[in-house]
Amino acid sequence: MSEFEKISVKTVYLRQDAPFIRLFCRDIPDVQILKQTAISTQFYLNLYARIGGVWGWTGRYLLSNNQLQKKLDENHIFVVFHKSVPIGFAELEIFGGTIAEIAYFGIESEFSGKGFGKLLMQTLFDFCSRYNQKIIHLHTCEFDHPNALKFYQTCGFEIYKDQIDLEFYPTDFIEKKRKLT
């Protein structure tokens, strides 16, 4: 893992209030979305790297192994399996009993745009409804998938603010981005 650097990043914050919309999800053969009741940091970080590495996801690398395990034990992790292989996940945090935040949401690039994301999002909506969550928050930034914001808005999320945040990113990720500009 590379070193990290704190940089300015345009971040868009979105929310959806209950009742959460019902998404039209097509039937995809050989797919399961399972809420993980016990997830190891090794499994999680492997999935986190495969899905978020291309987008510079860093937050979970900044935690110690014990801090990460505590976070995984407290949060709700949903993993998308296609033909028994994990291809995506979402991490949902619950705040104050009725407010949820999608901390991480991603599908491997080769499966993007094929309906897996909608199935995962609908699973989160169903979970939040079942447990009486009233608001779901999430955020995306300029380095996330180029269709992320549009996808979230299609799923019923509305922008409530955008701002420049200071975030840590891997140095090699930043260098690649600078070469592209």
Q: How far is CA 117 from the centre of its chain?
A: 10
Strands (E), the chain: 4-17, 31-36, 76-82, 85-95, 99-107, 135-141, 158-170
CATH number for the domain including 101?
3.40.630.30
Give the domain extent around 165: 4-180
pLDDT computed for residue 2 by the predictor: 55
pTM: predicted TM-score of the whole model, two decimal places: 0.94
pLDDT computed for residue 96 by the predictor: 79
CB atoms within 10 A of CB 158: 10
Amino acid identity for residue 142 in this structure: E
Q: Are strands 135-141 and 4-17 parallel, antiparallel or unpaired?
A: antiparallel
Name the phi and psi angles at 51, rounded to 5.
-90, -45
Radius of gyration over every alpha carbon of the chain, rounded to an integer in angstroms: 16
Give yes or no for a contact between 157 and 14, defined as CB atoms under 8 angstroms apart: yes
pLDDT computed for residue 167 by the predictor: 96
Closest by CA to 92, choosing from 72, 106, 77, is 77
Q: What's the domain count of the chain? A: 1
pLDDT computed for residue 139 by the predictor: 98
pLDDT computed for residue 1 by the predictor: 44
Under 8 Å CB-to-CB from 134, ≥6 apart: which residues?
A: 17, 18, 98, 99
pLDDT computed for residue 26 by the predictor: 86
Residues in the chain, pLDDT under 70: 1-2
| Rounded CA separation 60/100 (Å) | 18
Which ranges of 63-170 does DSSP label H, i.e. alpha helix? Answer: 65-74, 116-130, 148-154
